[in-house]
Amino acid sequence: MKTMLAVSALVGLMGVLPAFGGDAPDRKRDTAAFEAAAGSLAAAELPEGVRAPMLTTLRQHPTETQWSGRAGKAIFAVAVRPLPSGPIRDRAVPAFLQVVHSLAVSEMLTAKSLLDHYAAAGLTDATVLRQAVLQVSGQLGIAGKSEGFTHQAKVQGEFAVAYVIADEGTLATQLLQPAELATVKTAYREAMHKQARELMERKKWQDAVLLWHHLHTRKLVSQALYLDAATCFVELKKPGDALKVLEEAYAAFSATASADWLEQCGDLACKLGKPGESLALQAYQRASATLMNTTSDRARGKLGIEPQPAKR
């Protein structure tokens, strides 16, 4: 028998969760949260050998609200949030249980011991990888045999508490399946690309290029990444590298690229002077053809005329 857990993002619900940390009253609430989580684990039916490591992890970080760790071959995570008070409490309980369940899963997915398994796929920047996995945790399915995967969400006093436990090897194998790995790789690329653009805004061209190389060597490229890399090389006065990047990008994407992307490619090639003239002309011509075809089809559609068949 297998259990499939689909993680929900629940972003809207997160906005109503009470905050933790800060002044003395908040520290008391942190302690209450820890006690609720520990009490829930103490009463839960847990796999043998897991309860003690879980409680130890909580005690080591008593002011946290999410915890993760390992117990032998198992990996676990716990999350706790206070329930709202007043008339809404009973109606809010199901949603809060789902929230803490999702938070516990996200916490487990970003545990270091689990993230280390992505190194074999080239995803070696730990900070970026954690951001990526958090971003797509709601898209990842976690499947495992029932004896190796345990989860529970319950009310403990004034708190919603959830824990998840899984066999680390089984979970890692599932997450490295092609579909799940592709999802994480795309998120990893986008997170690092965002960092590169922030560096570009501060005119740190060489630092941005280093991130480009990191992604390029792992074949985690995109149309926008190529143009940004070429821009960095132009700013670094390295026209040869810029042209090489643009030519590679044009060969890879020109057949499916938008007219806007092709025009940007041509503009960058123009900045390289005579060496870039040939590529610029090709890019502009294809952009023009793409734009005319699109405009023509739209115009025909508005007039109720069927698009003309392609010429042979």
Between residues 220 and 13, the one the model is more confident about: 220
The span from the CA of 247 to the CA of 282, in Å, is: 11
Model confidence over 224-281: pLDDT tens digits? 999 999 999 999 999 999 999 999 999 999 999 999 999 999 999 999 999 999 999 9
Phi-psi category of residue 195: left, alpha or beta, with phi > 0 → left and psi -120 to 50 → alpha: alpha
Sorting pLDDT into bands at 50, 70 and 90, what band is 15? very low
Question: Mean pLDDT over all residues of the chain?
Answer: 84
Q: Write a three-state SS string for the chain.
A: CEEEEECCCCHHHHCCCCCCCCCHHHHHHHHHHHHHHHHHHHHCCCCCCCHHHHHHHHHHCCCCCEEEEEECCEEEEEEEEECCCCCCHHHHHHHHHHHHHHHHHHHHHCCHHHHHHHHHHCCCCHHHHHHHHHHHHHHCEEEEEHHHEEEEEEEECCEEEEEEEEEHHHHHHHHCCHHHHHHHHHHHHHHHHHHHHHHHHCCCHHHHHHHHHHHHHCCCCCHHHHHHHHHHHHHCCCHHHHHHHHHHHHHHHCCCCCHHHHHHHHHHHHCCCHHHHHHHHHHHHHHHHHHHHHHHHHHHHHCCCCCCCCCC
Model confidence over 122-157: pLDDT tens digits? 999 999 999 999 999 888 876 543 346 789 999 999
| Statement: residue 16 has pLDDT above 50 | no
Model confidence over 42-88: pLDDT tens digits? 999 998 899 999 999 999 999 999 999 999 999 999 999 999 998 89
**How much is the pLDDT for 148?**
63
**How much is the pLDDT for 60?**
94
Radius of gyration for the alpha carbons in the chain, expressed in angstroms and rounded: 26
**How much is the pLDDT for 13?**
36
The span from the CA of 286 to the CA of 284, in Å, is: 5
Structural domains for the chain:
2-176 (no CATH), 185-300 (1.25.40.10)
Cβ distance 213 to 228 under 8 Å?
Answer: no
Percent of the chain at pLDDT above 70?
Answer: 81
Question: Which single residue is written with the structure tokens 């990888």?
Answer: 129
pTM strictly above 0.95 = no
CB-count exposure of residue 265 (10 Å: 0-12, 13-18, 19+): buried
**How much is the pLDDT for 280?**
93
